[in-house]
Amino acid sequence: MTHENLKGRVAVVTGGGGVLCGQFAQTLAKQGCKVAVLDLNEAAAQACADEIVANGGEAIAVGCNVLDSESMQNARKIINEKLGTCDILLNGAGGNNPKGTTTKDTLEQIDLVQKDENVKTFFDLDADGISFVFNLNFLGTLIPTQVFARDMVEKEHACIVMITSMNAFRPLTRIPAYSAAKAAVKNFTEWMAVHFAPMGIRVNAIAPGFFSTKQNATLLWNEDGTPTARTGKILAATPMNRFGEPEELDGTLLFLCDEAYSGFITGVNIPVDGGFNAYSGV
Ligand code: NAD
């Protein structure tokens, strides 16, 4: 795949110290983008940037917090000085957290009458846990966009790529905060596509199916490394019967970033999911 249009463009990748966004950062660098790898975990961001540079690409790492406007302004200043103004913003930082998760798929009578400390029901969810997950995924994309879209309004072919999830279409059991937040991110993608259209900024989303990474590890794998019952259910509901590999998101990312392929596309949310979203279960 070659995407000449992307050569020399400045790509800002939030969550670039993580599994999927680290892959996105590498992919954009291979197309000649100058990549800023942003992450709360500065060491992880640095490792990703170092790998890009070792492979002959151009990248810098910036430790920052997508929930803190000042921290993002500071990141923008560094990036503008070292790489230039932002052409592509990949809003990737996000994920679920046990704080926003119930133990069981559905409410069971036994958990109402016989309280078990190890079972977190809907009634045990606390607002702080829900806010943590909701803020990370929703405000964590809104704040970086407020900061970096300032660079983009001056450009002809700027674009924003959001990362949603299967739960943006239908909620997944046990993760009410993450489900609601990713539905909000899909809705926000559409809102921004409309809002920024006169400025020529396209805004689209990738909806990954199931990929085994750090943020969902406790849901997918037991401590001894064996698959959880949830993993069995996911694979049974994925017609291709496997988890995705991070590099299988590359084609959709490059398609959405390169106006030669997607110049008239804005406001879409593309599933890359082995058929999960199409399958009714029957
Ligand atoms: P990951 O945990 O490997 O990466 C997420 C990264 O975000 C981490 O490096 C983390 O340090 C960083 N981060 C967290 N809070 C931050 C903050 N406040 N400021 C800056 N950085 C912060 O997870 P991943 O699976 O690679 O997820 C990447 C994106 O893909 C997320 O938005 C996630 O919701 C989404 N997603 C993942 C899957 C999957 O199956 N893994 C499926 C659908 C969507």
Q: Is residue 154 predicted with pLDDT exceeding 90?
A: no
Q: Which pLDDT does position 23 carry in this prediction?
A: 96
The atom of ligand 1 lying closest to the CA of 23 is 26
The answer, yes or no, to whether any atom of ligand 1 lies below 6 A from the CB of 214, is: yes
Q: Which of 184, 169, 171, 188 is nearest to 134 (CA)?
A: 184
Distance CA 49, CA 38 (A): 10
Q: Which pLDDT does position 218 carry in this prediction?
A: 85
Q: Which pLDDT does position 219 carry in this prediction?
A: 82
Q: Is residue 10 predicted with pLDDT exceeding 80?
A: yes
pLDDT band at 20 (very low <50, low <70, confident <90, very high): very high
Question: Residue range 68-84: average pLDDT?
Answer: 98
Question: What percentage of the chain has pLDDT greater than the value 70?
Answer: 99
Helix (H, G, I), strand (E, B) or coil at 210: coil
Q: Which domains does the chain have, with CATH numbers?
A: 4-209+244-275 (3.40.50.720), 217-242 (no CATH)
Q: Which pLDDT does position 2 carry in this prediction?
A: 86
Pairing relation of β-strands 34-39 and 58-63? Answer: parallel
The answer, yes or no, to whether any atom of ligand 1 lies below 6 A from the CB of 15, is: yes
pLDDT band at 75 (very low <50, low <70, confident <90, very high): very high
**Cα 95 to averaged position of ligand 1 atoms, centre (Å):** 5
Helices and strands (H and E) in the chain: how many:
11, 7
Which tens digit of pLDDT belongs to each residue from 24-44? 999 999 999 999 999 999 999
Count of Cβ atoms closer than 10 Å to residue 124 Cβ: 13
What is the token pair recorded at 84?
A: 């230039």
Q: Which pLDDT does position 116 carry in this prediction?
A: 87
Report the complex ipTM: 0.98
The answer, yes or no, to whether any atom of ligand 1 lies below 6 A from the CB of 143, is: no
Which tens digit of pLDDT belongs to each residue from 119-142? 999 999 999 999 999 999 999 999
pTM equals: 0.96
Q: Is residue 91 predicted with pLDDT exceeding 80?
A: yes
Annotation marks residue 261 as catalytic: no
Q: Is residue 215 predicted with pLDDT exceeding 80?
A: no
Q: Which pLDDT does position 47 carry in this prediction?
A: 98
